[in-house]
Amino acid sequence: MELTETQAQHAFRDEVRGFLQEQLPADLRHKVKELLRLERDDFVRWHNIIADRGWTGPTWPAEYGGTGWGPIERKIFDEECFLAYAPRLIPHVNMIMPVLQRYGTPAQKDRFLSRIWRLQDWWCQGYSEPGAGSDLASLKTRAERRGDKYIVTGQKIWTTWAHYADWMFCLVRTNPEGKPQEGISFLLIDMKSPGVSVRPIISIDGVHDLNEVFLDQVEVPFENLVGEENKGWTVAKYLLSHERTDLAAVGLCKRFMAYLHRAAERKTLRGRPLLEDARIQERIAQLEMELQAHEWTVMRVLSQDESGKNAGAAASILKIRSSELQQSITSMISEMAGPQGLRYVNEAREADWNGELPGGLFGNALVAHHLDWRKVTIFGGTTEVQKNIVSKSFLGL
């Protein structure tokens, strides 16, 4: 395993850093750095800047405008974006795009691929249902074939950004008989279709990202079926393999460490910054060591990936470890806020808010971040489910 970057990788890091210095708009950087709320247009604007540079699809084949980067380049790109306080690229792009590339009909490719490239269509993921999360194959949203269309009825839940979305890639049941996995199909649903309604779920930090999506007799043309009818489970799993590749989150953890340092510099105890307190220094050092160890593990897995060996169940270990780290760092920030962290003003995270807060705007946002980040052990496969995978694959249990 190589722990240092090659000359070419080092040059690539410089190139990405230079691009970010020149092209990342100051207002977007400010919003991300101060943990202010990003709007739909902010994401679209950033996405288009990245598209102009040709970097939208790090994992796509060159014929679809992919970058041709290896896993180490992808890690470097992610890390630099996080450290520069760039907005995140919308993850759904790198879920639906590879699926359409592999399983889409020529007409679907023609219709959707170039629009995804520039985020002209915003996609959301309609997998989970009130009774189907970890046990996804038990989903019940029903699609009945009538002539050249499906009639879809059911409910999806936790649908991130459904209120922004133009389209939803959706798992539906087309056959209620037999093995649950064998009666599922993968449909593309226009969110403007009659019968689709979106209801917000406000999360613990007061933010509206999540939704319930209700489907009431929604007509979906047969041409919007991806892959074969009743073979949607294969398509769904292929998509999830792309969702899970970036869950190691080294760049994100480094950004959190930067927030932690900044909070420890700003927050004072008896007139001195917390950063000068030996106990705080010790805890920060501990987190830094853990993050360094995590990064080395990630590098080890990525090196194997580069030599053609799939990460497989090791990806679950990376997801568990990165979730633990993200939560430890955000918890420590919240602890440092002390009693000031007890009061949280949601409106203060709008860019145009100009009230006063005892802990300052940044402190207020960091507390929200701590609350929000409880989610990381749930989405993308819960920690318990990841542990099941590890125990089966590595321990043979």
Residues making contact with ligand FAD (CB under 6 A): 124-128, 133-134, 158-160, 210, 375, 378-379, 382, 384-385, 388
Dist. CA 63–CA 331, nearest whole Å: 44
CB of 159 to ligand FAD, least distance (A): 5
Dist. CA 123–CA 162, nearest whole Å: 8
CA angle 122, 128, 133 (to 5 degrees): 145
Of 69 and 379, which CB lies nearer to ligand FAD in the complex structure? Answer: 379
Dist. CA 322–CA 218, nearest whole Å: 39
Of 231 and 375, which CB lies nearer to ligand FAD in the complex structure? Answer: 375
CB of 195 to ligand FAD, least distance (A): 19
Q: Which residue is nearest to ligand FAD (CB)?
A: 133
Of 55 and 377, which CB lies nearer to ligand FAD in the complex structure? Answer: 377
Of 258 and 378, which CB lies nearer to ligand FAD in the complex structure? Answer: 378
CA angle 267, 351, 121 (to 5 degrees): 125
CB of 370 to ligand FAD, least distance (A): 15
Of 32 and 90, which CB lies nearer to ligand FAD in the complex structure? Answer: 90
Of 234 and 382, which CB lies nearer to ligand FAD in the complex structure? Answer: 382
CB of 96 to ligand FAD, least distance (A): 12
Of 20 and 168, which CB lies nearer to ligand FAD in the complex structure? Answer: 168
CA dihedral 16, 18, 22, 26 (to 10 degrees): 70
CB of 206 to ligand FAD, least distance (A): 14
Dist. CA 380–CA 389, nearest whole Å: 13
> Which residues in the chain belong to E strands, given as ranges?
123-126, 142-146, 149-157, 167-173, 184-190, 196-202, 208-221, 225-226, 268-269, 272-273
Dist. CA 34–CA 53, nearest whole Å: 26
CB of 379 to ligand FAD, least distance (A): 4
CB of 378 to ligand FAD, least distance (A): 4
Q: Which residue has the tokens 């542990």?
A: 387
CB atoms within 10 A of CB 133: 18
